[in-house]
Amino acid sequence: MSHEINPGLGALVIDPQANMAGIVADMLRTCGRRDIHEVYDGAQALRELGRRAFDVVIIDDAITNAIELVRRLRADARSPNRLTPIIMMSAAPDAARITAARDAGVTEFLRKPFAANHLKSRLDAISSNPRPFVDATGYAGPDRRRRVKDVDADRRATAPDET
């Protein structure tokens, strides 16, 4: 199951710095969004995420326990935002941080600083190519595979017998 972006549901921006949350909100307005909520810590974010549905969540990894917040959101079957696409922003991401975010259920990643067109490209990617939601032991979130491989159905029939 995938989550289609519905701009009528609004966007939630979670950033510990109010001025940065405001900049991201302005970028979203430039992209045509109108219903934008800003929160500045994880506790506020959890309250807002439990209160109503959003069509996208944008979270800065500087929020205390940002990865755990995403993991909890994805694991909560009662949350109205469990399937909501999540874009994580980071000023200094390394490969381990990006992998941890992906493994927690983040849909897209943005390196700071970024321009409105970078944010728009992530929103467009989520909208035009939604990934199925995976609910498996140890992982809940969008399918982490980005490439689709065309597997030859006859390959199995022509493979040498290994028994």
Q: Is residue 150 part of a domain?
A: no
- Residues linked to residue 136 through DSSP beta bridges, in sequence order: 139
Q: Is residue 73 part of a domain?
A: yes
Q: Is residue 157 part of a domain?
A: no
Single-letter amino acid code for the residue at 159: A
Q: What is the mean pLDDT of residues 111-122?
A: 94
pLDDT tens per residue, range 29-39: 999 898 999 99
Predicted local distance difference test score (pLDDT) of residue 15: 97
Q: What is the CATH number of the domain that holds 19?
A: 3.40.50.2300
Predicted local distance difference test score (pLDDT) of residue 152: 58
pLDDT of 151 > 60? The answer is no
Q: Is residue 160 part of a domain?
A: no
Predicted local distance difference test score (pLDDT) of residue 156: 53
Q: How confident is the model at residue 131 (pLDDT cuts 50, 70, 90)?
A: confident
Rounded distance between C-alpha atoms, residue 7 and residue 56, angstroms: 9
Query: 133 CB contacts (<8 Å, ≥6 apart)?
Result: 1, 2, 3, 83, 140, 141, 142, 143
Q: Which of 90, 23, 88, 19 is nearest to 57 (CA)?
A: 88
Backbone angles phi, psi at 159, to 5 degrees: -70, 140
Spatial contact of 5 and 56, defined as CB atoms under 8 Å apart:
yes
Q: Is residue 93 part of a domain?
A: yes
Domain count, the chain: 1
Predicted local distance difference test score (pLDDT) of residue 1: 42
Q: Which of 15, 12, 11 is nearest to 64 (CA)?
A: 15
Structure tokens at 87: 């874009």
**Residue 64 DSSP one-character state:** T
Prediction pTM value: 0.83
- pLDDT above 70: percentage of residues in the chain: 84
DSSP per position, 112-162: SS--HHHHHHHHHHHHHSPPPEEEETTEEEE----------TTHHHHSPP-
Burial 103-140 (b: 16+ CB within 10 A, else e): ebbbbbbbebeeeeeebeebbebbeeebbebeeeeebb
DSSP SS3 for 104: helix
Range of the domain at 38: 11-145
Q: Is residue 151 part of a domain?
A: no
Q: Is residue 152 part of a domain?
A: no
Q: Is residue 22 part of a domain?
A: yes
pLDDT of 2 > 50? The answer is no
